[in-house]
Amino acid sequence: MRNIDVTISGEVIGLGQFLGLAGLAVGALDAKVMIEEGWVTVNGRVETQSGRQLRPGDLVATTGRSARVVTADPGPTRPNEYG
């Protein structure tokens, strides 16, 4: 199974939302059913709570496909206006 990296804009994302973003579920209802039926794992453990908060590095897998949560590289920090 090959993992894809899926970039999120914040520091956390709900499991159901992530399934849709990663293309692992067709829509919100599909994601909910997949999770409730126990077809989704997070870091190798079955997860049945669609509201589970994922963080960068978490690996989500279902039906032979998987995706890892990553965050966008914020780039170099800019000095503030005071120094």
CATH code of the domain in which 15 resides:
3.10.290.10
Q: What pLDDT does residue 82 have? A: 52
Place of tokens 């039926």: 37
Question: What are the tokens at 69?
Answer: 């949560």
pLDDT higher than 90, residue 70? yes
What CA–CA distance (Å, rounded) separates 62 from 41? 7
In a domain, 79, yes or no: no
Average pLDDT over residues 47-62: 95
What CA–CA distance (Å, rounded) separates 48 from 18? 14
Give residue 9's identity as a one-letter amino acid code: S
In a domain, 80, yes or no: no
Question: What are the tokens at 21?
Answer: 């973003």
Model confidence at 80, pLDDT cuts 50, 70, 90, reads low
Structural domain that includes position 43: 3-71
